[in-house]
Amino acid sequence: MKNTFGNQVSITLFGESHGAAIGAVLDGLAPGIPVDEDEIRHALSLRRATGNLSTARQESDPFVIESGVWNGVTTGTPICILIPNQSQHSRDYAALRGKARPGHADYTAFCKYHGYEDYRGGGHFSGRITAALVAAGTIARGALRQNGIQLGTHMARCAGIADRAFDVTDPENDLDFLADAVFPVLDAEAAEDMKDAILAAKEEGDSVGGVLETLVLGMPAGVGEPWFDTVESVLSHALFGIPAVKGVEFGDGFALSELCGSQANDAFRADADGNVFTATNRNGGINGGITNGMPLRFRCAVKPTPSIYKVQQTADFLTGENVELQIEGRHDPCIVHRARAVVDAVTAIVLCDLLAGRYGTDWLGGDGV
């Protein structure tokens, strides 16, 4: 499928950065899930550019829920969310036509759509489209919450600076903090160092990347399929759809490959009531593609923002000449903190899909009227 993901619960994205509107259709979600428009506004504000760390393109993301929600709850029919575009400076991009911006999809879009693509501001490939994902994901997050599942994401690394790890003794506290944190870093000192590094890159006309780490609490054991629809493969399939995500790892991921089995294995234990858990969680809550009841934990590598002010070498794919490129317009020196809201949203949608596949559509919904 082209712009659609999911089986039981699916998401379809549409729109271009400088077109009339962007949006999403979220289908298959159970009826009876409360939809809080203030919560959607809050999530959109976390994705939006803010302060001196981000692009000057400031949008309030006013959204309209066109269908599928009535009297404050989901009806069970497709939810269409529309976000009109407001801040369009299309002239910034006209002079660039043909000059492939390094790290962007200008050339690949041209190869695929034969020049008919709306290239303004990255068109359909723009990070702007992720606002619709965030709005839809917030509704999915409400469905998870009423079933005792909560999640959150922090910037584990940015510009080579590390945040502290999630506190395994009190992860709920970390998730509460992240729910309202505009700059989602758990350690205050690391947060300041990261901000300094972002501003230093901005000063240079450059950009920096980082790693987002997500924790999901309350996922029941037994969700996922053993081979091609493992929880890892379904989640990473969707997470790689997020622009600028270039790596996904689960649990301790690549670092596990450096350990001995005796170090990498998570010992199984049983509590006084016979409930099984693992003493450590290096495998990120998944064994054999199936959740084991421990917190899900995974990381997404986010590359440095491709649009930078520095002069770059590129090719003009219309004239076939090598040219120098200096991108004008408005750019983020770092998108990692903004991508956090997108990772949360995608995670919520995927987990709703997996849970509805395991327990049926109505499992996520209300008790009926």
Ligand X SMILES: Cc1cc2nc3c(=O)[nH]c(=O)nc-3n(C[C@H](O)[C@H](O)[C@H](O)COP(=O)(O)O)c2cc1C
Nearer to ligand X, 54 or 74 (CB): 54
Choose one: 70-78, 144-152, 156-164, 329-337; the region binding ligand X (CB under 6 A): 329-337
H helix or E strand, kind and range, residue 210: strand 210-217
DSSP secondary structure letter of residue 245:
E
Nearer to ligand X, 239 or 286 (CB): 239
For residue 195, which amino acid is it? K
Task: Note whether 307 binds ligand X by CB under 6 A.
Answer: yes
> Tokens representing 205?
């006309």
- Cα–Cα distance for residue pair 368/354, rounded to 1 Å: 22
Query: Count of CB atoms within 10 A of residue 118's CB?
Result: 17
Task: Note whether 342 binds ligand X by CB under 6 A.
Answer: yes
Q: Taking CB under 6 A as the criterion, which residues in 178-237 touch ligand X?
A: none
Nearer to ligand X, 98 or 123 (CB): 123
Q: Taking CB under 6 A as the criterion, which residues in 117-146 touch ligand X?
A: 122, 125-127, 130
Please provide residue 290's backbone torsions phi and psi, each rounded to the nearest 5 degrees.
-120, 140
Q: Shortest distance, CB of residue 172 to ligand X, whole angstroms?
A: 26
Task: Note whether 15 binds ligand X by CB under 6 A.
Answer: no
Task: Note whether 333 binds ligand X by CB under 6 A.
Answer: no
Strand ranges (E), the chain: 4-5, 10-15, 21-27, 64-67, 69-70, 73-74, 79-84, 150-158, 161-162, 210-217, 245-250, 268-270, 276-278, 286-287, 290-291, 296-302, 312-316, 321-325
Look-up: residue for tokens 């309030």? 60
Q: Rule CB under 6 A: choose which of 47, 120, 124, 141 binds ligand X.
A: 47
Q: Shortest distance, CB of residue 128 to ligand X, whole angstroms?
A: 7
Q: Rule CB under 6 A: choose which of 142, 243, 284, 357 binds ligand X.
A: 243
- Map residues 89-108 to x or -, x wherever contact with ligand X holds by CB under 6 A: --------------xxx---
Strand partners, 74: 69
Q: Taking CB under 6 A as the criterion, which residues in 259-288 touch ligand X?
A: none
For residue 46, which amino acid is it? L
Look-up: residue for tokens 């009339």? 20
Residues engaged in binding ligand X (CB under 6 A): 47, 55, 103-105, 122, 125-127, 130, 242-244, 303, 305-307, 331-332, 335, 338-339, 342
